[in-house]
Each structure stands twice: as C-alpha cells, then as structure tokens.
Structure 1
Amino acid sequence: MAQSYSPEARIPPFLSATLLYALWDRLRTSFWFLPSVMAAAAIALSFVLVRADAWPGAEAVREFGWLYRFGPEGARAILSAIASSMITVAGLTFSITMLTLQLASSQFGPRLLRDFMRDRGNQLVLGTFISTFAYCLLVLRTVRGTEGSSFVPHLAVLFGVLLALASIAVLIYFIHHIATSIRVETLLAQLATETRAAIDRLYPERLGHDPMPGERRTPAHLIPADFENAARRVQAERSGYVQRVDAEALMRLATEHDLLVRVEARPGRFVTERDAVLMAHPSDRVVERVVDRLHAALVIGQDRTPEQDLEFSIRRIVEIAQRALSPGINDPTTALYCIDRLGEAFRRMAGRDLPSPLRFDDTGHLRIITEVLSLDELACPAFAALARYGIADQDVVARLLSTMDLLQGATAPEVRRAISQLSEAIRRESEEGSREFDRVRFREPGGLA
C-alpha cells in the first residue's frame, strides 16, 4: 500500500516550526536584536529623508521658514552635537545595564538574568540611542557647504532634532525603569505572571482525546506488551536541557505513521548525547527520515526555559527566597514575599484537573505517552527547600505552614496527604529549636501568619 505523506514531510527538519519558533524566541529575547532592528530602520530612514529633501518638489516646504533655519554650518553643528552626545549616553546606559545585571545576579540568582536581558524597556532605550547616533552620522555626511555647491537636508536635520528630544524622554524613562526593575516586588510580580501563564498553558489544555478523564496511570492493556523491546530509542543529538516538546507535531507524525511515542525526557530534563529522549513503537516504521522529524519536534538548549517547564518557574522563586535567607543577605521579608507568590501559584494549580499522560488521536488510538507532574510533586520539593533554609526563622516557618494549610483545603486527597506529612515534619522540626513564645504561635491555628 502506498504511503501518504503530509506537506510537513517535505520540510527539512532544520526548518521545522518547532526549531523556527525556538530561534525566533532566542532572537526576540536577546539584548541585541531589537536595538539592531531599530538601528537598521534609522539607517534606512536617513536615506529616505535625504532623498526626499533632494526632490525638486521639496522646495515648497522651505516656505515654512520657522521650521528650516539651518545653514550648512548650523546643520553640521547640530548633527555633530546630537551624534556625540548619543554615543556617550548609549555607553553610559550600557554600563548601568551591566551593573544592574551584576547586582541582580549576585542578589537574586543568575537564572534571573534572562528576564533582565529580554526586558523590552532596556532594549528600547539602548536601541533609541544607537539609532539616533547612526541616523545623525549618516545625515551629517550629506551636508555640503562649499562655494557653488550647497545642500542642507532640512527635513532630515529636523527629524534628527526630534530624535534627540525623544532620546531625552527615553533617558528619563530609563532612569525610572532601571530603579523599579531591580525591586524584589517587581521581580516577583513578573515571575508570578510567568508562572500563572505556564499553569494556564500546560494544565487546562489537552492534546487529542482522553477517554478516561482523571486517570493518571498508564493502563497496561493500552501499551503493547513488547513496547520496551520493539520500540526504537530516539537519542539526543547533543547535550543540554530539553526546552520544548512540540506535542502537536508528535501527534501528527505518530498518526501519519501509526506509531506510539513515549516522551522519555520532559521539558526541563538534562540529557547527554545518546540519551533516549523518545521511544517510538514499532521500530520497523521508524526509518531515518522519521527519526529526523522526531528530532525536529524537540528543542535542546544550554539552559532551562519557563515556556513548558513549570518546575523551572517555581524553582526561580524558591531560589530568590533561599538567597534571601542566606547568612550573607539575611532578608526574611523577601522570603515571605516568595512564599506568598508560591502559594498563589499552587492554589491556582489546585483548581485545575491534572491532564492525562495519555494522548489519543481523533480515532481513539493511543499515540503519545508523556509525563505529567502532579501538584504534590511540584509543591512539596519547593516547600521543603524553603524549610531547609528557613527552619530557624519562625516567621518564615509560620508563613510556610499557613500557606500549606490553605493549600490542603483545595487539593485532592492524595495531594493533601503528601502536603500534610511534609507540614507536620516541618512543624516538629521547627518546634524543637523554637522559643516558648514561638511555640504558642504553632499551637494556635489562628496564630500562624
């Protein structure tokens, strides 16, 4: 029987939607991309406006004399002043940004540098200064004031002045933005927004049809008995963290070739070369072209990303709290803020149905088996990590236990048991080294804060 191929089968693996999306995400979150685009636009605009000034019809606009009072020397002076000041301010801006990154890395952790690098405000500020410099420099070369040959691009010079005025406004914005962006409240609000988006993206949505809602364990009768022996191991091509798994692409590929695919490395997992990232059954249908398309459905990079890795988003909040509780910083108030944000995220997740690890196609055939983290698998390690650092601070312990108690009332019985066991262990450990007035707080439920 002739085998049918989808249009995606003719697309080279390096041009797959998953890899292109990953490339675009790296570009738009890099510190240089937006300033480079703005500088290129400014260069193009300088040529357009200079050409517009050279058109014969442009003589009519010179009747507005109050707009155009630049002679050759005046135009050169204005453009030179703007260009020199912009490159100086751009250097100052870059230095302040680097200093901010250093402070943020030492106080909040290097994992947060990605958020500072992708900050649109910082990119816009640097791009404005560089664009203004490049624009004025290119317009300056067109000003001629020799005897018998004089040309001043009035419209282009005026636009350069407008760019300089806009740069002053941007500089004021930058000073305000850089001061607010390093506040822990601002950072935690951004991380909380990112975590909520990850919860909404990963947990309410399901791929394909799930005929057994609420069933988390994989029923043995749905998996071929020879799966482990007859499935082909799809190995990682390089070492790194799994950043993205395109489940929709895997579903199309599994349906097209009548495969059962099991995801061995979920997003956030570190893999080395030759580690299995996927298992595809049966192996005789997994030819090299299919293996290439399976590889194209995964993105492996140097670091973890929060898009499909909810555990990483939570871990970054935990890291801020751990650093705040370290002897070198000793800032328990920041740890309390972090506990509040973690409680917010876990309570949001508690109200969601856990997606099934089984993904079925439209005809009801099992196509993908994946791993789904439950609430207790995310919450208990986070709470335990905080208790490990803050067990000697009774305010931190009290807030932690209060958050866990609130979470237990909104969770399923199996999750409630796991959180309750951890809560009791933290309570016992804390009471052993606490003072008498602190023990009273733990004995009275209303005393927990």
Structure 2
Amino acid sequence: MKDKFLQIFRKIYHLKDKIAFFPTIISIAGALFAYLMMFAENKGISKYLVDFLPGLVINNIETARVILSSFIGGLISIMVFSFSMVMILLNQASSNFSPRLLPGLISNRKHQIILGIYLATILYCIFILVFIEPTGSKYQVPGFSVLLSIVFMVCSLGAFIYFIHSISQEIQIEFIMNRIGTKAKKKLEKLLELEENEEFEFSDSSNWKSFKVKETNYFQDVSLNILKKVALDNDCKLHVISKKGSLCFKDEILFKTEKDLDEKTIEKIYKAFDFSNEEFIEDNYLIAFKHLKEIALKAMSPGINDPGTASYAIDYLHELFKLRIQKQENDFIFHENNCIILLDIITFKDLIYKVMASLRNYTKHDVIIVKKLLQFLKDLKNYTSDKEKLQIIDTEIENLLKDAKSSISNNYDYDKLSEI
C-alpha cells in the first residue's frame, strides 16, 4: 500500500510541472465554490444579508447580469493577453538563450496559479449567471454571490498586475540564470551536508546481478525512498549504474543487486526510475551546468555576440563548480552508518571537460572571456586538496591557453593571459 502511495505521489509530483496542472485544480475549486454558493442562495443567504447588511447585496437583476457578463468577457481578454505574453517569453528564451530552458519556464508556479485564478473566476461568474432564473413570476437574484464575483474580479486584476511585474523579470536573462544557479546551489549544498563526516565504503559490485534498460530514453531521476525500502526489506545493497541526465540505450546495464530478488521486487525497482525528455534542476543539479553552459555559448555565437551575458553565465558556473569540486565522486544512501545504495554520477573530470571544451571553442578569440575563465579555473584550486582534481584543473588551464594562443594574434594580450 505504501509503495503504491509513493508511486502515485511521484506521478503527481511530475504533473505539477505541467502548465495545466494548477489551473485545472484551481478552476475546479472555482466551479465547486459556485455550486456551494447556489446551495447557500437556495437556503436564503442573500435574504438574510438584506435584513442585516443591505448595502452588500445586489438586488437588481439587470445590474447583476451586466456585472457578470462584463467580468466574463473582460477576464477572457485578460487571460488571452497574459498567456500570449508567456508564449512570447518562451519563444524569446528558446531563440536567444537555449531551448532547454523551456521546461523550467513552463513550470513557473506563479504563472500557473494566475491562470488558475482567471479560470476559476470565469467559471464562477458563468455558473452564477446561469443561476439567475425565474422562480414563478419573479427572478431569483443571488445578490451575495454577485458581490463575491466582484471580489474575485478584484483579485484577478491584482493577479494581472502581479503577472505584468513577474513577466518583466522572467524575460531578463540575469533573472533566469539566477533562478537556475540558486536551485542547483541548494541541491548541491544539501548533498554536501549528507556527505559531511560520512566515510564512503561500498562492496565490489562487479559480480552482482545486472538488470538492463528496457527502452532507450533519458534517465532523469530515481525515487530513493522506493530503493531504500527495497534494500532494507530484502537486506540487499543496490548499485545504480546509469547516470542521471544521460541517455540510456536499450539493453545497457541500469542497476545491479547484491543478491537475487523475486520478479515483483525487481519490477518495483524499475518503477522507481523516471525516464523523460524533460529536464528539471530539482531532479538533477547537473542540468544547471548544462543550461548555463548553453546560455554562454549562445551569447558568444556570431548571431548574438553578447559577451556580457556569457560573463554572467561563467560567474554562476564558477559558484556551482566551487561546490561540485568538494563533492565525492558518487552519491550514496546510508542506513545506520551502512551504505546500502550507490549511485554513479558524472565525475568532476568529465563534467569540467564537457563545460570547458565547449566554452574554449566559442570564447577562445575573446581575451576578456578567456581571462575570466582562467581566473575561474585558478580560483577552483583553492577549494580542494585532492591532487587528482588539481591536476585536472591544470590540464584545463593548459588546454585553454593553447586554444587562446591559436586565436589571439596580439602577443601583448596573450602575455596578459599567461601571467594569470
């Protein structure tokens, strides 16, 4: 029962990143509230309020209809305008920065809630308008419900003003990079806290039982709660071979188990893995390195030619690498000081090479950007005493200087770089 609950929770967790998830929930709440108000009107809530607070109740049928009709038409116009702006933002981010940024922008919770407020108010007004119907020779006017529609409309206008403020920030690349960097930094800091004062020891898994990928797809995340429960229930260690964020081809080894497990348990382990083309930093901090690198590359492309943006992206990469260099080369899960789950990750050597190889190629002609990269690499050496990692950084510095020398013809500029 608990396993099913965890699986349902994971599905809902991923649904929340869809642009229609929160609007659907909030709009359903608006429709249900309209029915609740109809029930209250049938019980005479408006008549009761007329006796005590007559100024709060609208008694005129035509006034009520005009108000509700105006609200419906106005809100539909506001909603169309608002989410035309969202589409413009997505298009600009895709063309100027990187298409990989789109999932993070689409999953913006604030914009989803604003859309939900619009839809809930529209549905509420429609249902209350339909509720105005003749009873005998007279019309029943839901005066208090109409008053609430005015309150909801004011809230919608407030949400619209906030939306304009929010979209004006979201469209700025500095804001986008700050959001990416902040999320990844929090994720890395949390992982470093888990590793603090922990000694990593894990059995050799070369002879363990192997299980392969069923279909070719990108491996984005895995439910550690499910894996931990399986490991503890079966007194068995698990080794996840595939790396988060990588493309897993069919029949590649996905994970290994220390002992033979029944088919039902193995299927439970498979369900813990999340394969998807969508990339979210909350699931994998490495996505931030990829996004920031692509922003810098796009900024330095001949069509954009924006060294300022590239410089900002390198600053955020600098911050993230300062944390990553302190991290161990594997992720692991402990239970009572015993490591029961090992997760292979992209090593520091592979990660910095993938970032620097692309940046070297696109920025080697720009003295200022190359200088910034050299300072960033030099500063990284202050955050580790690991000789292997220090050697990796020295190799990247040498490669960067070689590429810069092939593109910078001015000896004075190159000498300035060599001094660093």
Q: Shared topology, TM-score over 0.5? A: yes
Deviations 1:81-107 (A, max 9, x none): 111111122122222211221111111
1:302 is displaced (CA, Å) by 2.8
Q: Aligned in 2, Cα 1:293/1:16: closer, same or farther, shift over 3 Å?
A: farther
Is 1:26 equivalent to 2:14 in the alignment? Answer: yes
SS in 1 for 2:210: strand
What's 2:274 paired with?
Answer: 299
How does 1:3-18 map onto structure 2 within 5 Å?
11=3, 15=4, 17=6
What's 1:4 paired with?
Answer: none
1:428 is displaced (CA, Å) by 3.0
Matching residue within 372, 379, 399 for 1:425: 399
Alignment-mate amino acid for residue 202 of structure 1? L
1:358 and 1:35 map into 2 onto residues whose CA distance is 37
1:356 is displaced (CA, Å) by 5.4
1:359 and 1:50 map into 2 onto residues whose CA distance is 53
- Is the Cα contact below 8 Å between 2:58 and 2:144 reproduced in 1? no
1:390 and 1:325 map into 2 onto residues whose CA distance is 7
1:361 is displaced (CA, Å) by 4.9
What's 1:380 paired with?
Answer: 353
SS in 2 for 1:370: strand
Q: Aligned in 2, Cα 1:139/1:355: closer, same or farther, shift over 3 Å?
A: same
What's 1:187 paired with?
Answer: 176
Q: Which runs of 5+ in 2 are unaligned?
A: none
Deviations 1:194-217 (A, max 9, x none): 11122123343259x96xx267xx
1:77 and 1:309 map into 2 onto residues whose CA distance is 51
Q: Aligned in 2, Cα 1:411/1:92: closer, same or farther, shift over 3 Å?
A: same
Deviations 1:363-389 (A, max 9, x none): 85x643432444343233212321111
SS in 2 for 1:299: strand
What's 1:439 paired with?
Answer: 414
SS in 1 for 2:55: coil
1:358 and 1:86 map into 2 onto residues whose CA distance is 51
1:363 and 1:165 map into 2 onto residues whose CA distance is 56
How does 1:279-358 map onto structure 2 within 5 Å?
279-282=256-259, 285-350=260-325, 352-354=326-328
What's 1:233 paired with?
Answer: 210
1:121 and 1:335 map into 2 onto residues whose CA distance is 28
Deviations 1:108-154 (A, max 9, x none): 11111111111122112211221111111110011136772221101
SS in 2 for 1:126: helix
1:311 and 1:266 map into 2 onto residues whose CA distance is 11
1:38 is displaced (CA, Å) by 1.2
- Is the Cα contact below 8 Å between 1:321 and 1:334 reproduced in 2? yes
What's 1:394 paired with?
Answer: 367
1:160 and 1:280 map into 2 onto residues whose CA distance is 59
Matching residue within 205, 226, 233 for 1:249: 226
Q: Which runs of 5+ in 1 are unaligned?
A: 1-6
SS in 2 for 1:223: coil
| CA RMSD, Structure 1 to Structure 2 (Å) | 2.5
Q: Aligned in 2, Cα 1:70/1:105: closer, same or farther, shift over 3 Å?
A: farther
2:248 and 2:327 map into 1 onto residues whose CA distance is 29
- Is the Cα contact below 8 Å between 1:380 and 1:419 reproduced in 2? no
- Is the Cα contact below 8 Å between 2:374 and 2:397 reproduced in 1? yes
Is 1:175 equivalent to 2:164 in the alignment? Answer: yes
Alignment-mate amino acid for residue 324 of structure 1? A
Q: How many pairs were matched up?
A: 417
2:413 and 2:135 map into 1 onto residues whose CA distance is 86
- Is the Cα contact below 8 Å between 2:405 and 2:414 reproduced in 1? yes
TM (norm. structure 1) is 0.85
Alignment-mate amino acid for residue 40 of structure 1? I
Is 1:43 equivalent to 2:31 in the alignment? Answer: yes
1:293 and 1:314 map into 2 onto residues whose CA distance is 31
Alignment-mate amino acid for residue 34 of structure 1? F
1:361 and 1:42 map into 2 onto residues whose CA distance is 45
Of 110-119 and 160-169, deviating more is: 160-169
1:159 is displaced (CA, Å) by 0.8
